Amino acid sequence: MSRKVGFDPVVDADTRVLILGSLPGDASLKAGQYYGHPQNTFWRLIGGVLGVELAALPYDDRLAALKAGGIGLWDVIASAERPGSLDAAIRLPEAADLRGLVATLPGLRAVAFNGGKAARLGRAMLADAGPDLLDLPSSSPAHARPLAEKAAAWAALRPYLDGCDHVSREKM
- Roughly how many angstroms between the first and final C-alpha of the chain, as a whole number? 46
Q: 73 in the Ramachandran plot: left (φ > 0), alpha (ψ -120 to 50) or beta? A: beta
Rounded to the nearest 10 degrees, the angle between the axes of helix 42-50 and helix 147-154 is 50
The dihedral sign for the CA sequence 134, 137, 141, 142? positive
Residue 114 among the catalytic residues:
no
Which residue among the candidates 22, 40, 139, 140 is catalytic per the annotation?
Answer: 40
Whether 112 and 17 have beta carbons less than 8 Å apart is answered as: yes
Q: Which long-range contacts (CB under 8 A, 24 or more apart) does 163-167 make?
A: 164/14, 164/16, 164/68, 164/69, 164/70, 166/50, 166/68, 166/69, 167/50, 167/51, 167/69, 167/70
DSSP state of 1: -
Catalytic residues: 40
